[in-house]
Amino acid sequence: MRVSMFDFEELLSIAYKKERAQSRRLSKGASISARDALVRTLEKAAGGQSLGELVHARRLANARALEAAKAREAWRANPPRLRAHFHDHHHEQGAWLAWFDGSAMPNPGRIAIGGLLRSPRGETLEISAAAGHGDSSKAEYLALISVLEAALDRRAEKLVVYGDSRVVIDDVKSLAGAAVLAPHAALARRLIGELGDVHLHWIPRVRNSNADALSRRPFLPDAP
């Protein structure tokens, strides 16, 4: 893609604040146009990429950020149905129970998830899997998502979920939440909406030892 295909306003829209400041200094110091200075600055930021590839990647990132912002606005504008799913009282008789935990070694580093899902009849499903790389919050979110998906697959009508991550539990319940966790939060909320009756509770780590052990199992030397 040729540089001439990008106008100044478009380049400004995808440039970071630091890059815009650098280009202004370059324009003044080298006595070149503001557009040429911005092109040079962005070409340097692109590294091994072309300017066209950098612009395309920034456009996608901006689109994802806008989508996440719209999702947060929709949650803020119409929260009653989802909010009703989060209760702070004890679970009703006949509910499915779930526990989740995530581990990162180091943090950030390799991550793994652990979870348990127990039916009202006492049947238990264990979840333990490596989950790539990231930090502990990502691991915790992926663990929560895994137990929600398992409950949905088994058509659980009532679900009580326990976890020891205040970051994740508060983020799911939050109207805004952390931008970096927005994709995970959006998926968790969608699953909660599909399940229809979910009670989410924080518990101390000592009461979450089984899920914690499952989240650490993939790091053991003899793990598959």
pLDDT digits (tens, 9 = 90+) for 45-80: 988 888 888 887 788 777 666 665 565 565 556 543
Higher-pLDDT residue of 3 and 191 is 191
R_g of the chain, CA atoms, integer Å? 23
Token pair recorded at residue 22: 């650098």
Q: What is the mean pLDDT of residues 164-170?
A: 92
CA nearest neighbour of 153 among 130, 127, 129, 128: 127
Distance between CA atoms of 148 and 161, rounded to whole angstroms? 9
Which residue bears the tokens 């989950």? Answer: 131
User: Could you tell me which residue, 47 or 148, shows the higher pLDDT?
Assistant: 148
Q: Is the pLDDT of residue 130 over 90?
A: yes
Inter-CA distances, 93 with 74, 90, 97, 119, 151, Å: 33, 9, 11, 11, 17
**Alpha carbon distances (Å) from 138 to 50, 145, 185, 215:** 31, 10, 10, 13
Say what the pLDDT of residue 73 is: 62
Q: Are 188 and 141 in contact (CB under 8 A)?
A: yes
Buried b (16+ CB within 10 A) or exposed e, 31-48: eeebbebbbbbbeebbee
Report percent pLDDT > 70 for the chain.
Answer: 82
Helix (H) or strand (E) holding 43: helix 34-46
From 6-10, 119-123, 127-131, 134-138, the region with the lowest mean pLDDT: 6-10
pLDDT tens column, 95-128: 999 999 999 999 889 999 999 999 999 999 999 9
pLDDT band at residue 224 under the 50/70/90 scheme: low
- Number of residues in the chain: 224
Domains of the chain: 3-78 (no CATH), 82-219 (3.30.420.10)
- Closest Cα to residue 115, out of 131, 132, 98? 98
Better-predicted residue by pLDDT, 47 or 2 = 47
Which among 184, 14, 210 has a CA at the least distance from the CA of 128?
210
Q: pTM of the prediction?
A: 0.62
**How would residue 93 be classed by pLDDT, with cut points 50, 70 and 90?**
confident
pLDDT reported for residue 141 = 96
Question: Can you tell me whether residue 64 is helix, strand or coil?
Answer: helix
Please name which of 81, 97, 28, 74 lies closest in space to residue 176, comparing C-alpha atoms: 74
Q: Chain-wide mean pLDDT for the chain?
A: 84
Place of tokens 């119409």: 78
Q: What is the pLDDT of residue 51?
A: 86
- Whether residue 116 contacts residue 210, with contact meaning beta carbons closer than 8 Å, is answered with yes
| SS3 (DSSP) at 199 | strand
